[in-house]
Chain A
C-alpha cells in the first residue's frame, strides 16, 4: 500500500540493548499510566500527611480546578499526537469566555455555550487554514494568531471585563452533581469523546498517521489538508467549551484572562505522556496530569509553602516527571554496558563476531 521512504524517525530510538521486550514494556507502561499512578500516589500521601487535604470539600475543589485546563488539554492532546500544537488557546479562551459571559447575560446558557464553542471553532479554522493551506508552521501560525486574537479581544471589549452571576449559568462552573463538580464531569465527558474520536473515527486514525510519519501518511492517501484543518478546529471547539466553564466559574471574563494558559495546557498534555514529536498519546495521562497540577497547587497551599518556592516546586515536578524515562534509560544503558563488558571479558572472541 505505501511506498517506503527513508525518513528521520520521529519516534525516539529504542535502546540498543538486550532484553528489548521488557524495556519497551516499561516505557510504554510509564507513558500510558505513569502520571495516573503518580497522581494516585500523591493523593494517598497528601491524604495522610497534609491536614485538610482528605476532606470532601477540598477534593471537590481540586477536581473542579483541574477541569478548566483539562478540557482544552483534551483537544491539545489530539493536536500533539498529530505532531502540531496550538499556542493560541490562551487568547482564544479569553475571547470565548468573555463572549460566553456576555451572551449568557443577554440570552441564557445555551446560546452562551453555542457562541463560545463556535468562536473557538472559528479561531481553530483560521489556524487550520494558515497551517495547511498557507503552509505556515504550526508554532508560528498559532503564535501569530495568539497575538492577533489577544489584541482583538482587547479592542472588542475595550479592555473591560464582562460579569454575570445568573444561577443557571454559573452552575456550570460551580455546581455539583452527585457530589462531583460539574466542570469535572464535563471534563470527563470530553476526555471520553476525545478517546472516541481518536480510536473510533477515521479522523482519529489519520491523526495518528500524520503524527507518526507525515510523508508516509500523505503517500498512503491520508487527506492531510482536511485533517489538519479539522485538528485545529477540534482544539478550538474544546477550548471554547472550557472557556465557557471558566467564565461560569469566575462569574466573569475579559481580555488578558490567564496569560500563559497555553503553556499550562501543553505542559499538561506532555506531562500526561503524550510525546511532542507526535505519533502516540495518552488521554488518561492528560486527565491525570490536569488533576496532578491542580493537586500540586492545592497541596502547596495547604502546606503553607511560600509563593516564590511554589514556583520552583511546580517547575521541578514537571521536569522530574519528564526525566523519569530518560533516567531509567540511562541506568539501563549503564547496567547493560557493564554486563556486556564483564561477559565479553570471559569469552574468547569468535570469528563471526568480528
Chain B
C-alpha cells in the first residue's frame, strides 16, 4: 500500500487548477446558468461537504493510513445529533455529534495501534459496525425535524464553505507549523524511523483518527442539516468520494490545500453535468477519467523532470 508519493504539491495543485479552469470554461459556454452566483454557491456548498471529510482523510493519508469508515461515522453522528437537538438544544447536540465522531475515530485508532490491525481492514470492519450501530440507534426510522430553523444554520448560505475553509486553514497550520503536524508526517513517511527518534507514533495515530472521525461527523452534521433528517443510510459511499478528492487534489503530504481543489473539481463536474441534464452514468466515467488523467499527467511529468535532472 503506497501512501507516500514523493511528488511536488505545486505541480499537483497547478494541474488540478488547470483542469478546473478548463472545465469551468466549458460549462460556462454550455450552460447559461453555470456562472450565476446562486449556482456557484451550490457548487461550493457541495464541494465543502466532501472537502470537510476530505481534509480529515488528507490527515489520515499523511500519517500513512486510510479511513474507510467515514461514511458510517457521518451517518451515526447525524443520527445522534438529530435525536438530541430537541432535547438538549442545538449547540450541545452538535457537540455531541462531533464527540460521537471523535469517539469512533478514537476506536479506529485504538484498533490500529493497540490491536495491530492494518488501518484499511480496521476501518473496513468499523464501516459495517458503525453503520449497524446507526441503524440500531434509530431503529431504522428517519428523524425528520421539519420545523428546526436553528440547526439549519449549519447548512445555510456560506456556512458549509466557511467551515471547510476554516478547517482547511487549521489543518494546514497544524501540518506545517506544529510539532504534532511534523510527527504526523514523520509517522507517515516511516513509522519505524519516527519511533526511533522519539515520536510517539501510537499517540499521533490516535490523534489523527480522532480528528478524521470528528471531520466525518461534521460532514454528516452538515448533510443532515441540509435535509433536516437523521437517518442511518446517510452518506453511504462517502469514504470513496473523500479518497477520490484527496487523490485528485494532489500530494496529501502538504495538507489542506490539496484536498480543497480536488473536491471543487468533482463538485463542478457533477453540477455541470446536472445543469446540462446529462445522465448520471457519465458522472462516474468522468470521475474515473479525471482520477486517472490527473495522476497520470503528474506521474509522467515527474518522470520527465527526473530524466532531465539525472546525468
Contact = CB atoms under 8 A, between A and B. Distances in A.
Contacts of B299: 134-136
Nearest to B120: A276
Contacts of B122: 319, 322
B166 to A, nearest CB: 28
Interface string B289-305: 11110011001100100
A323 interface: yes
Given A140-B295, A141-B292, A318-B121, A148 B284 contact: yes
B1 A85 contact: yes
A26 B302 CA distance: 45
B309 interface: no
Given A145-B288, A319-B125, A323-B111, A311 B192 contact: no
Interface string A302-343: 000000111111111011001101110110000000000000
Nearest to B121: A270
Contacts of A311: 128-129, 131-132, 135
A308 B132 contact: yes
B286 interface: yes
Contacts of B284: 147-148, 150-151, 154
Interface string B126-137: 111101110110
A126 to B, nearest CB: 9
Given A8-B190, A151-B284, A308-B132, A140 B118 contact: no
A149 B287 CA distance: 11
Interface in B220-260: 232, 237, 240, 243-244, 247
Nearest to B193: A8
Contact of A139 (B2, B117, B140): B2
A291 interface: no
Contacts of A134: 296, 299-300
B116 interface: yes
Nearest to B66: A139
B295 A141 contact: yes
Contacts of A140: 247, 291, 295
Interface string B1-19: 1100100000000000000
A5 to B, nearest CB: 14
A189 interface: no
A136 B285 contact: no
B282 interface: yes
Contacts of B131: 311
**Chain A: interface secondary structure?**
helix
Nearest to A323: B115
Contacts of B243: 143
Contacts of B114: 326, 330
User: Looking at chain A, what size class is its interface with the partner chain?
Assistant: 35 or more
Contacts of A322: 115, 117-118, 121-122, 125
Contact of A319 (B111, B140, B285, B290): B111
Contacts of B237: 259
A221 interface: no
Nearest to A316: B129
B174 interface: no
A230 interface: no
Contacts of A150: 284, 288
A319 to B, nearest CB: 4
B128 A130 contact: no
Contacts of B132: 308-313, 315
Contacts of A288: none
Contacts of B124: 263, 266-267, 318
Interface string B174-194: 000000000000000010110
A142 to B, nearest CB: 10
Contact of A144 (B2, B116, B121, B291): B291
A316 B295 CA distance: 35
Nearest to B137: A308
Interface string A266-283: 110010000011000000
A327 B116 CA distance: 8
A352 interface: no
A155 B140 contact: no
Given A13-B192, A151-B281, A143 B291 contact: yes
Contacts of A154: 280-281, 284
Contacts of A147: 244, 284-285, 287-288, 291
5 contacts: A134-B300, A144-B291, A149-B288, A152-B285, A311-B128
Given A155-B281, A319-B117, A326-B115, 20 more contacts: A135-B300, A137-B2, A141-B292, A141-B295, A143-B244, A143-B291, A144-B289, A144-B291, A145-B288, A151-B287, A266-B124, A270-B121, A277-B118, A309-B136, A311-B131, A311-B132, A315-B132, A322-B125, A323-B111, A326-B117
Interface of B: 1-2, 5, 68, 111, 114-118, 120-122, 124-129, 131-133, 135-136, 140, 190, 192-193, 232, 237, 240, 243-244, 247, 280-292, 295-296, 299-300, 303
Name the 5 nearest CB pairs between A and B, nearest first: A326-B116, A148-B288, A311-B132, A151-B285, A147-B288
Interface of A: 8-9, 12-13, 83, 85, 130, 134-141, 143-152, 154-155, 159, 259, 263, 266-267, 270, 276-277, 308-316, 318-319, 322-323, 325-327, 329-330
